[in-house]
Amino acid sequence: MPEHMPIMIGDKAIEKFIEFCQQKQYEKLMIVADKNTARALGDRVFQAVKQKEWDVIYHVLDPEGLHTDEITLTRVLNAYDAIPRLFVAVGSGTITDTVRFTSHRSQNQFVSFPTAPSVDAYTSKNAPVTINHLKGSIYCHAPIAIFTDLPTICASPKFLTASGFGDLISKLTAPSDWKMSHLIWDADFDEEIYASGLRAGQRAAEVVDGIRTADPKSMIAMMEGQFASGFCMADFGNSAPASGGEHHIAHVWEMMFHWEKKEGLYHGHAVGVAAIICAEWYQRLKALSRKDAGVLLERSEIPSRSAQIAAIEKNLPRIAEELIESDPIYLQLSDPEKFKTICERILDRWDDVQATAVVVPDADAIRGWIKSLGGPVTPQELGVTKEQVEIAIDYAHYLRERFSINILRKLFGW
């Protein structure tokens, strides 16, 4: 395993950060927060730096409608004065990803002060960024250190904790999708990273009662799970270990909200609901015999290439061109020879395919955990329309090169 950045979790995060800057001689800084995270922690970080009389730019964004998109990135770059600085992200997903991108593209390092256990992306090298209406995972870099102020994490709003749990619990479906891509589609795979991702999801399920009461020990376990999940993606070099079919469904909803300029959809909430949907498909897979799978595959009909392209253009017009250009797996399966080979492979490796399903908990279990934290468990609760649910379920598998349960269930006609 590659070496990871130092991570501090406790009640002396700011003091540790100041010591870190002194040791590394970082005396020029650029702190980025939004108004909420500034109040929660950013202002205190800024005051501590100012007391040292270091040269600091403190840029506080308006949280209203804040996304990691062209507008936010330009705002931060505009506030930056183009001299070498240590960037400091004080916030959760959007702020951290914004700083991850802007520091990387301006050739500066950054450190992260997480303010909520809401995402798994703190330790990641990739930033989900929406450019030209398409949300994609863009290669940037990881923070050189993480300073986690535990009281801030424990006091973070409940809905953010529930969102983080939804993202973390997807580590019980995403690793299976990844392993299945390896078995069926020869995707690159790493057993150790797979186990680490899965462990992060299992641990979240174990400490859910403590998370509900913001018990510090459970919140530490949750943050560690989020960090581990980010390491899985960073170590593997892409998001495959921690982001599967459930993330693709969630990404479609997130993009739809963005296109409609609608607010209020949290990543982990969407991922959690989508993970319940994927777990339902895994449940059907668990109950399927090799023989019945063979019958279903025999009956399976893949729409022609032109029919699929027309459907993508009709249902996801804003990103259709990029999706088609990426030559997604399901589109490739319109070639009868390829489809035949894949069907044979699924049946040849049936026991292994089944083993990917066995580690996924039943949908009811995931639903119960998320519900107990006050998080949404249905698309309706997310504010997603019936039509958007259908489009995401039917087209999300075009989003990434992954042989997820979203594709397999299509082959089975579910």
Site residues, Zn ion (CB under 5 A) = 167
Residue placing its CB nearer to Zn ion in the complex, 244 or 328 = 244
Instruction: Tell me whether residue 241 or residue 328 sits nearer to Zn ion (CB atom).
Output: 241
Evaluate whether 183 touches 356 at the Cβ level (below 8 Å): yes
- CA gap 404, 414 in Å, rounded: 14
Q: Using CB atoms, what's the residue nearest to Zn ion?
A: 167
**Least CB distance to Zn ion at residue 205 (A):** 17
Find the shortest distance in angstroms from Cβ 323 to Zn ion: 20
Q: Report the C-alpha gap between 243 and 238 in whole angstroms.
A: 9
Nearer to Zn ion, 171 or 367 (CB): 171
The minimum distance between CB 247 and Zn ion, in angstroms, equals 6
| Residue number, 167 or 254, with CB nearest to Zn ion | 167
Q: Among residues 67 and 85, whose Cβ is nearest to Zn ion?
A: 67
Report how far apart, in Å, the C-alpha atoms of 159 and of each of 215, 220, 248, 388 are. 16, 18, 22, 23
Separation between Cα atoms, residue 69 and residue 71, nearest integer Å? 5
Which of residues 66 and 119 has its CB atom nearest to Zn ion in the complex? Answer: 119
Q: Which is nearer to Zn ion, 34 or 167 (CB)?
A: 167
Q: How far is the CB of 268 from Zn ion (least distance, A)?
A: 7
* Radius of gyration (C-alpha) of the chain in whole angstroms: 22
- Shortest Å, Cβ 28 to Zn ion: 32
Q: How far is the CB of 243 from Zn ion (least distance, A)?
A: 6
Closer CB to Zn ion, residue 141 or residue 248?
A: 248
Shortest distance (Å) from residue 207 CB to Zn ion: 19
The least distance separating Zn ion from the CB of residue 248, rounded to whole angstroms, comes to: 11
Which is closer to Zn ion, CB of 103 or CB of 229? Answer: 229
Instruction: Find the shortest distance in angstroms from Cβ 313 to Zn ion.
Output: 28
Smaller CB distance to Zn ion: residue 167 or 280? 167
In angstroms, give the least distance from the CB of 187 to Zn ion: 19
Residue pair 115/37 in contact by the 8 Å Cβ criterion: yes
